[in-house]
Amino acid sequence: MEMTSLNKYSYKRLQDFCATVFVHAGVMKKQADIVAASLVQADLRGVDSHGVVRTAIYLKRVEQNMINPSANIRIEKENDSTALLDGGNHFGAVVGDQALKLAMEKAKTNGVGVVGVKNSNHFGTGAYYALQALKEDLVTIIMSNASQTMPPTGGVRPFIGTNPLAVGIPCGAYEPFILDMATSVVARGKIIVAAQKGERIPIGWAVDKNGKPTTNAEEALEGSVLPLGGPKGYGISMFIDILSGVLTGAGFGKYVHNMYENWEKPQNVGHFFITIDINQFMNIAEFKQRMDLYISEIKAEPMAEDVDEILIPGEIERRISEQRKKNGIILPLKVEKELTEIGIKYGVSLSDALITNHTESEGV
């Protein structure tokens, strides 16, 4: 198990720390705030693999001119309900934020907004965008492609990414439905940890470089992670790549470049945003009542042995977020050390983000 720090960090001040670091690295304040917010929100929701752990690689790609924080994000094509956005190789979170706002504006005016994006970068978690749209009572579907980590069913080497899919749907009394998932069985990071510890991995997580199932973590890292649900996950990942990459003019398959390994070409990630105005189908109040009824009936279903509660997508993450807002975020020691060193480099103190006593809370 990865060692964690004994320190607890205020999510607000951790976000300020990250934003200030990005500003010192040459990013405009407004855009630095967006990138920092997308990272810290992932940590709040317990998706630590997409949280402040990504700060270092984002900064390195800026320093190596692999991300252009001064890029002009422009609309290449547009009509009443659709648009194609050229991200200009800006931060994925900044490009995604602009694409979402455009899609929401179109949905409110015309009932639906569909915005494709090309020339972008890793954009964080889909839930970051879903939560923004939920404030406007919009249904949102968010997709992005990613660099190669999974083989096509029947293949032996990586061709498609663990392309994420997120859906946000508002409710009334209940918390909103937020589905945010990758299309792989397991994150590659878990296999890396197993390899570091010399542990075996469960069968079904990955294949070796010859396409054979393996429980050897080192062999798995030389091979590929597997799609969720076999050919079904492969098919979902493929359609996300088609909409986000092929349709938008972004990279797809092997043309989406790895942000950790490729230092010659920008990532050229593609995204796809769909926003829907519920009022075009029924009054929003009626819809929320129907969603509440739907969820209440799901939760009232008979439960299997050793199950205390039936949950809906997004509920666990919401509870983790509430706990971490109240109690602070605990970072892995490796990440804490990395952020401390980044802070020293850019003249910002990570210790300023610490919760200094047990009575301190985010509301103070």
What domains does the chain contain, in order, with CATH numbers?
Answer: 11-63+314-353 (1.10.1530.10), 74-184+227-280 (3.30.1370.60)
Sole residue written with tokens 């230092």: 263
pLDDT (0 to 100) of residue 192: 74
Closest to 68 in 3D by CA, of 83, 49, 87: 87
Q: Are strands 112-120 and 82-86 parallel, antiparallel or unpaired?
A: parallel
**CA 55, CA 154: separation in Å to the nearest integer?**
36
User: What percent of the chain is modeled with pLDDT above 90?
Assistant: 85
The structure tokens listed for 167 are 């859906």
> pLDDT tens digit string along 330-346?
998 989 999 999 999 99
46: left (phi over 0), alpha (psi -120 to 50) or beta: left
Find out whether 128 and 93 touch, Cβ atoms under 8 Å. yes
Q: Is the four-CA dihedral 274, 234, 190, 313 of positive or negative sign?
A: positive
Closest to 162 in 3D by CA, of 49, 1, 329, 303: 49
Backbone angles phi, psi at 90, to 5 degrees: -75, 175
Q: Are strands 269-277 and 224-225 parallel, antiparallel or unpaired?
A: unpaired
> pLDDT tens digit string along 84-124?
999 999 999 999 999 999 999 999 999 999 999 999 999 99
- Which residues are tagged catalytic? 122
**CA 73, CA 75: separation in Å to the nearest integer?**
7
pLDDT (0 to 100) of residue 358: 54
> Of all residues in the chain, what percent are helix, strand and coil, respectively (each to 5)?
45, 15, 40
Q: Name residues of the chain where pLDDT drops below 50.
A: 359, 362-364
The CB density around residue 336, as the number of other CB atoms within 10 Å, is 19
